[in-house]
């Protein structure tokens, strides 16, 4: 289980293992940049970047969950996301939380 809250309804935390995290760094694609530039002229959502960031978040979550399982946890609470600018065409997505064992 992965939740943004510090508790899970109906579950009791029996062990707190500690911080777990997962990250990915994604670079933009030149072809998508051209399409995004055109959309920027007329306004609206840039679906190419929305999809890119959604995939990056999912990969970061998957890596965080794998770290939690490897540490013996069966849940992660207090999950948060962070985004960092790495260079001109790349960003990092970091998912982190507290690995716990719940009953």
pLDDT at 50: 85
| Residue 37: partners with Cβ closer than 8 Å, 6 or more residues away | none
Burial class for 32, CB neighbours closer than 10 Å (0-12, 13-18, 19+): middle
What are the DSSP calls for 29-50, one per residue?
A: -HHHHHHHHHHHHH-S--HHHH
Residue 75, token pair as written in the block: 């849940």
Residue with tokens 């982190």: 96
Please give the distance of CA 27 from its chain centroid, rounded to a whole number.
Answer: 16
Mean pLDDT to the nearest integer, 29-49: 66
- Note the pTM of the prediction, 2 decimals: 0.85
Q: Is the pLDDT of residue 75 over 80?
A: yes
Q: Is the pLDDT of residue 22 over 90?
A: yes
Beta bridge partners of 15: 101
Domains present along the chain, CATH in parentheses: 13-102 (3.30.110.70)
């Amino acid at each position: 289980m992965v939740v943004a809250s510090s508790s899970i309804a109906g579950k009791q935390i029996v062990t707190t293992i500690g911080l777990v995290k997962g990250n990915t760094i994604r670079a933009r694609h030149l072809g998508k940049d051209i399409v995004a530039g055109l959309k920027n002229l007329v306004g609206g959502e840039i679906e190419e970047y929305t999809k890119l960031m959604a995939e990056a978040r999912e990969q970061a979550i998957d890596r965080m969950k794998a770290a939690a399982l490897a540490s013996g946890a069966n849940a992660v609470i207090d999950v948060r996301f962070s985004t960092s600018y790495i260079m001109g065409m790349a960003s990092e997505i970091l998912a982190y939380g507290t690995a716990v064992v719940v009953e």
